Amino acid sequence: MKDLISKIVSLAKRRGFIFPSSEIYGGFESSYDFGPLGVEMKRNLKQLWWSEMTKNHENIVGLDAAILMNPKVWQASGHLTAGFADELVECKLCHKRFKRDEIKDNRCPECEGELTKPRKFNLMMKTFVGPVESEAAQTYLRAETCQGIYMCFENVLKSMRFKIPFGIAQIGKAFRNEINPKNFIFRTREFEQMEMQWFCHPKETDRWFEFWKKARMKWYENLGIEKKNLRAKEIPDGERAHYAKRQVDIEYRFPFGWGELEGIHNRGDWDLSNHSKHSGKDLRYFDEETKEKYFPHIIETSVGVERSLFVFLVNGFQEIKGGRTKTTKSAKEVEILLKLDKKIAPIKVTVFPLVRNKPGLVKKAKEIYQLLKPHFVCQYDEIGSIGRRYRRADEIGIIVTITCDFQTMEDNTVTLRDRDSMKQIRVEIIKLREIIKKILGGEEFLKLGKLVK
Ligand code: GAP
Report CA(303)–ligand 1 centroid distance (Å).
6
- Choose one of 307, 310, 311 to mutate for the ligand 1 pocket test, by most ligand atoms within 8 angstroms of C-beta: 307
pLDDT in tens, 201-221: 999 999 999 999 999 999 999
Report CA(260)–ligand 1 centroid distance (Å).
8
Name residues whose C-beta falls within 8 Å of residue 150's C-beta, 6 or more positions apart in sequence.
Answer: 77, 197, 271, 272, 275
pLDDT in tens, 362-388: 999 999 999 999 999 999 999 999 999
Closest CA to 260 of 270, 269, 251: 251
Which is the closest atom of ligand 1 to the Cα of 146? 1
Check if 142 has its Cβ closer than 6 Å to any atom of ligand 1. Answer: no
Check if 204 has its Cβ closer than 6 Å to any atom of ligand 1. Answer: no
Report CA(195)–ligand 1 centroid distance (Å).
10
Which has more confidence, 339 or 121?
339
Check if 188 has its Cβ closer than 6 Å to any atom of ligand 1. Answer: yes
Give the per-residue pLDDT at 1.
56
Check if 307 has its Cβ closer than 6 Å to any atom of ligand 1. Answer: yes
Which is the closest atom of ligand 1 to the Cα of 250? 14
In percent, the amount of the chain with pLDDT more than 70 equals 99
Whether the predicted pLDDT of 2 surpasses 70: no
Report CA(92)–ligand 1 centroid distance (Å).
31
Check if 262 has its Cβ closer than 6 Å to any atom of ligand 1. Answer: yes
pLDDT in tens, 218-273: 999 999 999 999 999 999 998 999 999 999 999 999 999 999 999 999 999 999 99
Contact 248, 235 (CB under 8 A): yes
Report CA(179)–ligand 1 centroid distance (Å).
14
pLDDT in tens, 180-199: 788 999 999 999 999 999 99
pLDDT in tens, 389-446: 999 999 999 999 999 999 999 999 999 999 999 999 999 999 999 999 999 999 999 9
Atom 17, ligand 1: residue with shortest CA distance = 304
When pLDDT is cut at 50, 70 and 90, the band that residue 330 belongs to is confident
